[in-house]
Amino acid sequence: MIPEIGQFALILALSLAICQTVFPLVGAHRNDVAMMGVGRTAATGQFVFVGIAFACLTYAFVADDFSVLYVANHSQLALPTLYKVSAVWGAHEGSLLLWIFIITAWTVAVSRFSSGLPEAFAARVIGVLGFLSVGFLLFALLTSNPFDRLIPAAADGGDLNPLLQDPGLAIHPPLLYIGYVGFSVAFAFAIAAMISGDLDQRWAKWTRPWTTVAWMFLTLGIALGSWWAYYELGWGGWWFWDAVENASFMPWLIGTALIHSLAVTEKRGLFKSWTLLLAITAFSLSLLGTFLVRSGIIVSVHAFATDPTRGFFILTFLAVVVIGALLLYAWRAPSLDSDVGFGLLSRETFLLLNNVLLVVATALVLIGTLAPLVIEMATGGKISIGPPWFNVAFLVPTIPLIILLGLGMHTAWRSQDKTPWTRMLRLPAIAALVLGVVIPLFIYGRISVLLVVGCAAAAWIVVMSLIHPIRSLLREKGTAGITRSVLGMSVAHLGMGFFVLGVTIVSAFGIESDRALRPGETIEVAGYEFEMRELRNVEGPNFSAIEAEIEIRKGGDFVATLRPQKRQYLVQKNWMTEAGIRAGLDKDLFVALGDQLGNGGWSVRIQYKPMIRFIWLGALIMALGGLIAITDKRYRSKVRKTATADAAAAEATA
Amino acid sequence: MKPRQQRMLAVGLAALGIAIAAGLTLRAFQDNMMFFVEVSDVVAGEYPKERNFRIGGLVVGGSIEREEGSIDVRFDVTDTACTIPVAYSGVLPDLFREGQGVVAHGRMGGDNVFQADKILAKHDEEYMAPEVAESLSKHQKDIVKAVAAGAAECNSNDS
């Protein structure tokens, strides 16, 4: 019964989504306020019904309703309740439902906080979001219904993939999807502006906080995925240039470009058509990412079981959205560009370069991701592009990007006077170079060109990011402090600096070693002694495991005891590695059990990962920067106005 | 700068960036492309001699051998028509098992043993790398028999 309610709620949501698309768009065209008003109501209704469907599916999981095919395939009686809930989005059908739920939530948020917008514009935004929602609801109902029944019901389920039974992965997809789907708001704003043919600086001001929020979630989602891959997959790497990782990274890169381009459009009314194009691209790449994951067309650790109809549907939808948006763009964009100039040495130039480099970086990732597909179609040869290629190719645009980043932050809009600028830069540049040599040489005792470049670049960004906040702290009383916008920017860039430092150090000094180890035996890796004290059996709720106790010492001094496990899950009979990790800001020590070697010993993978935490810490700080930036006064005043308007409206209706 | 110049600058920079990217991409692709070669082709000697490539197939039952206490392991991989021995030193992935699909990166050693530097087994049991699935279906031999015994009669011309 409950699953049928969910199914019915989804169908109702689809009807509401159609209303939410048609009425506001037509209403805005005819300037009919009543019709435009339908959009908000329909959006709220859709949110409620998709929420009901989502609750029904969650209930089916928690109540172990194995007469629902999706539940029977992806859950099991002994599964802990937390993972029964997260199993809802553990596979294709449910993750699609989550996706739809998030897009309706974004739509409701937009309709809530949009009373500061012109009515017709808000109506168009809601209409476009409704259209996207129609597409995904159709996708769910036609190809991937999560409520399909299994008759007769199974006695027990097939269990959730053990890899997904992890708290990190329980929240990774929702964060990532909030980010992915969030770019649909920027997309809808862009389409709405192009339909109305009216794009001024206010447009950029409205779009910016939405884009920043989406970007924040995407940043957190990607970082969490990377962290999870590190500790759960047992390979010890933090990024594999896997097709699906790339699929989430490309929208992030373009989203980052979009945030910067929006700054120029808001402050100076420039780059309008470029900003529109980025907004369209960011969302299109999100859709492309979905297509890559769903279709199974690309070999990936993330690929769900392949289904050509699903791939075809998404590809068609992608084509409709992208071609439609680009046609509209070709028609409208030429009339939007303004006649404002800027000097060669100005923040505009640096932000332009930022955009060019980020787009080049995205193009490289896209080429590397799609090349195996293209080459196979052209020559029939099956190739793969290895991470080394990505590592090298990606450095080409990012090294100049990092250097320019430090400069751009401290360059004035419009035109910058050269003399004070070069004078101000001298000290930070010297400091960065000195640190670039000192960090690798004196802390880690080795030096190379790439190391100096990496460490100097990281130090450069960190120093440059601290200038604004420090000046603000040292300012004389009574003078204006730093705005939240500038503080947010500084913090986000500081995070970037930490990230670059982490990547540089761990790439250069990380050590990985596969060794044989027996109870009572000690081996040495990276200057640490690893002693296997004992092996024992451990029972979990739905798995049994062999656990090793490994004591780590350095020069005889105790450092840590790690307890890596090899688990066997009882239903799927899969073996899973749970690594033992001693985490620290300066370094991680990582031990994973491999295979039994027959003499009572095990093969173990031991890793020494200096400063790897800075990678995720950096990403967290970047997201924090975004959070600070959206609390800037000028957005708050808008919200406050919205709140007052809401109150006034409530009073009027009361 | 005037808008015209701005546009020129933007277009120029973008073109330059793309040209550099394209050049580097093509150059670096040469070194980093890794071909997938069917086991039958490897047996027939048709594989890149001086560089790494990938092979894939099923792990033959009972073929996994290791010297006691050593991380060196040897096993046979079959595409149901032909079989080659693979040597690897290190930790095997969790889903590595007899009868399961596997992909190995590496190169041929002088003794006709494939020296793998990386072994991949997929995370999902039902999931098999598409190139492996295709390679297996092409030969259409009895998979169960092949896994149990290895491919006994390998005629390298049949591929």
With an 8 Å Cβ cutoff, the interface of chain B facing chain A consists of 1-3, 5-6, 9-10, 13-14, 17-18, 20-21, 24-25, 28-29, 31-36, 54, 66, 68-71, 73, 89-92, 94-95, 122-127, 129-131
- Which of B32, B92, B105 should we substitute to test contact with A (largest number of A Cβ atoms within 10 Å)? B32
Region of poorest pLDDT, from A134-138, A336-340, A605-609:
A336-340
- Asked, for residue A6, whether it belongs to a domain, the answer is yes
- Asked, for residue A592, whether it belongs to a domain, the answer is yes
The tokens describing A267, both together, are 């402050």
Which is nearest to B147 in space by CA: B39, B40, B44, B57? B57
For chain A, the domain total comes to 2
- Asked, for residue A574, whether it belongs to a domain, the answer is yes
Test B18 with A363 for CB contact under 8 angstroms: yes
The pLDDT value recorded for residue B159 is 39
Looking at the complex, report in whole angstroms how far the Cα of residue B73 sits from the nearest Cα belonging to chain A: 10
Host domain of residue A25:
1-163
CB A129 within 8 A of CB A293: no
Judged against a pLDDT cut of 60, whether residue A116 lies above it is answered with yes
The tokens describing A47, both together, are 């949110």
Q: How confident is the model at residue A334 (pLDDT cuts 50, 70, 90)?
A: confident
Looking at the complex, report in whole angstroms how far the Cα of residue A389 sits from the nearest Cα belonging to chain B: 6
Q: What is the ipTM of this complex?
A: 0.80
Q: Which of A384, A515, A605 sits opposite B54 (nearest CB)?
A: A384
Test A356 with B126 for CB contact under 8 angstroms: no
The pLDDT value recorded for residue A305 is 47
Q: How confident is the model at residue B35 (pLDDT cuts 50, 70, 90)?
A: confident
- Asked, for residue A67, whether it belongs to a domain, the answer is yes
Judged against a pLDDT cut of 70, whether residue A643 lies above it is answered with no
Test B34 with A161 for CB contact under 8 angstroms: no
Looking at the complex, report in whole angstroms how far the Cα of residue A569 sits from the nearest Cα belonging to chain B: 12
* H runs (alpha helix) in chain B: 3-32, 39-43, 130-139, 143-149
Q: Which of A299, A338, A393 sits opposite B25 (nearest CB)?
A: A393
> Position of tokens 């399909």?
A148
- Asked, for residue A32, whether it belongs to a domain, the answer is yes
- Chain A's closest residue to B14, CA to CA, is A356
- Asked, for residue A227, whether it belongs to a domain, the answer is no
Looking at the complex, report in whole angstroms how far the Cα of residue B1 sits from the nearest Cα belonging to chain A: 5
Q: Give the A:B interface size as CB pairs under 8 Å.
A: 134
Q: Which of B25, B92, B95 sits opposite A364 (nearest CB)?
A: B25
- Among A140, A163, A186, the domain-final residue is A163
Judged against a pLDDT cut of 80, whether residue A641 lies above it is answered with no
Test A356 with B17 for CB contact under 8 angstroms: yes
Q: What is the mean pLDDT of residues A444-451?
A: 91
The pLDDT value recorded for residue A341 is 76
- Among A613, A628, A645, the domain-final residue is A613
For chain A, give the mean pLDDT: 88
- Asked, for residue A79, whether it belongs to a domain, the answer is yes
The backbone torsions φ and ψ at residue B52, rounded to the nearest 5 degrees and listed phi first, read: -75, 150
Looking at the complex, report in whole angstroms how far the Cα of residue A390 sits from the nearest Cα belonging to chain B: 9
- Among A596, A613, A630, the domain-final residue is A613
**What is the reported pTM?**
0.90
Judged against a pLDDT cut of 80, whether residue A301 lies above it is answered with no
The string of DSSP codes covering A367-428 is HHHHHHHHHHHHH---EEE-HHHHHHHHHHHHHHHHHHHHHHTTS-SS---HHHHHHHHHHH
Question: Which one-letter amino acid corresponds to residue A392?
Answer: V
Separation in Å, CA A401 to CA A213, A450, A462: 23, 15, 14
- Asked, for residue A280, whether it belongs to a domain, the answer is no
